[in-house]
Structure 1
Amino acid sequence: MRRVAVSVAVSALAVSAAACGKAGDDKTSDSSSSGSGSKSIGLLLPDNVTARYEKFDKPYFEAKVKELCSDCTVSYANAAADPAKQAQQMSSMVTKGVKVIVISAQDSAAIKSSIASAVSKGVKVVAYDRLAQGPVSAYVSFDNVKVGELQGQALLDALGSKATPKANVVMINGDDADPNAAQFKEGAHKVLDGKVKIAYEQSGLWKDTVAAQKMSAAITQLGAKNIAGVYAANDGMAGGIANTLKGAGISNIPLTGQDAELAAIQRIVAGTQSATVYKAYKPEADNAAELAVNLLQGKDIKSLADTEVTSGSGDKVQAKLLTPVSVTVKNIKDTVVKDGLYTVAQICTADYAAACKKAGLQ
């Protein structure tokens, strides 16, 4: 998802930086003493502003690899939202002898030749979260059309009786370079079309700043009083949009998101975001690690990747698609809190104490 360029809490960035070092460096970092050799697995993540990647995906993946293969090492690199850097990072891993590379592509089409080159040298590649083009051996993600459907339905539910074919909805989609973005968009349109009017639709490139700019343009074009709700494809962009809405004096309109980021959960508690989509990071990372270790050890993966998808390059890929969950103020306790993603204390800081009490979290 990503998903995804996101506005995150400063504390989360600080924790990620302290735990993982400076993300996006050209050099790869090893989670063990050595990253080269026959038992080395590479992990390439797309950006360091999306909170989930270094705070959750990376440590979960590394821990599962260690559990399954105690003498395996994980080499890690972050592309810092730069497709060219990610291609160089993949080449570096191949050169140093990494045998399996798990990659969440910054640009699914641009990385195709790098994947083909790696595979030609005997490296196995697993597409993670985003379906990269080229001869990948497996793919782990969520049902991304379903994610869009959940977002669209959450928007309709929040609109209630205001959901009419004349109700103006603003859609801020993800980056077209990410194949997931098209699937989120497809799912959302499947639910929204005909029930509301998509009056303004643009890509926010997974960036909160771009999404904020697009929202400002939508307000100028449509008028502040003529917007019924906003579809934001992820929580980072929703954060930028929420700030723009506040600055324009617009309140009490539905706003969607995705990724169940802490800041988004807090906005949901406060009432400035209506819903997000929770894609449990641990099962996704665990499945990717298990696939990587099996491929490293020459084992069959069909029992792990039990379905098949077709990538943008036409390649048939064995896949594991997990089930996303919609999160509103009503089920925060039963989703992200129950799973241990966040504690009530993390959500209900001083600024949100009153709202948390009203929502029944405290």
Structure 2
Amino acid sequence: MAAARTQAFRAAFAALRAGGLNRGLRARAQGLGVILTLHHVRPWRARDFAPNRLLEIEPAFLDQALAGARKLGFDFVSLDEAWRRTLTGVSYRPFLHVTFDDGYRDVRDHALPILERHGAPATLFVASRFAEQDADIWWLELEEAIARSRRIYMDLGRGEAVLPTATARQKQAAWNAVYWRLRSGSEEHLRAEVRRLGRAAGVDPLSFARELCMDWNELKEVARHPLIAIGAHTVTHPMLAKHPDDVARAEMADSREAIRRKLGLEAAHFAYPVGDRSAAGPRDYALAAELGFTTAVTTRPGHIHRSHAATPTALPRVSLNGHFQTAAALDALLAGTPFLLMRMLKRGRA
């Protein structure tokens, strides 16, 4: 199912470009600007089972994306400047800002030289316990647990089931079943089940933060770069909407305080972990405003429009997805065509 969905999106991006719809609808579809979402930027390590590939792009594609955006007339701006243009409702050329979630080391090693080449400012949204390197990154732990196993045991709603995971196809099928089942429930249950599967497969849950995330000393060095700003991304990377008010508030406030204490910086901007409607909602947008963040960004897809001046803590972003590293996808996303068509479809259904 996941592979079929990916193929359908690729075909749609290709059709939009081939039919000239991106060019024809750009004036109507494109907003004031775009905030891009990225996670990993690194050379691709070929493997048959890679369910988190959507969270990584290759350096060449980031280079292509920024070159393409510049050719289309985008201004590369800071998040402060993007927000200023949103407030005024005026951007004589569309703006673009790059954001990286979680604080991975490959952003420094592979993305930063590309940002320098294009003069593109970026915000690194840091989960403070990732920087402490003592937190689990559960989606990577789940991937590794399935990768190491020949079978896993999981209650999918009808009692404990045995899921074969000997082949890459079986591993992907197990991931699809387990991931979405766990995502639909409480985060406590999700993390407990991932920890159980990881323990059975001999996975060290803290190894991913140690191996992949910049520590505070590395972040301090990166934060000195004139193109880089640091934003807050909670303490432990929870899906905030699944937690009570006091937990959500503490996750947001304490991550900003850790950045202030460790880096001597005031994090004016915030990114919701996971960031879709299941992970961040109106309660969380209100908390971000109450805590005084200038903006907070979701992963809900879309361009920034004048109307977003009224919702500074619920801003959309455009994801550069590892499954869609093509010129056709880039053309559509920067034009805003898919988001216009989705809005039209929703209005039609209504």
- Give the TM bin, normalised by the shorter chain: 0.3 to 0.5
TM-score (norm 1): 0.31
TM-score (norm 2): 0.32
Q: Which is richer in helix?
A: 2
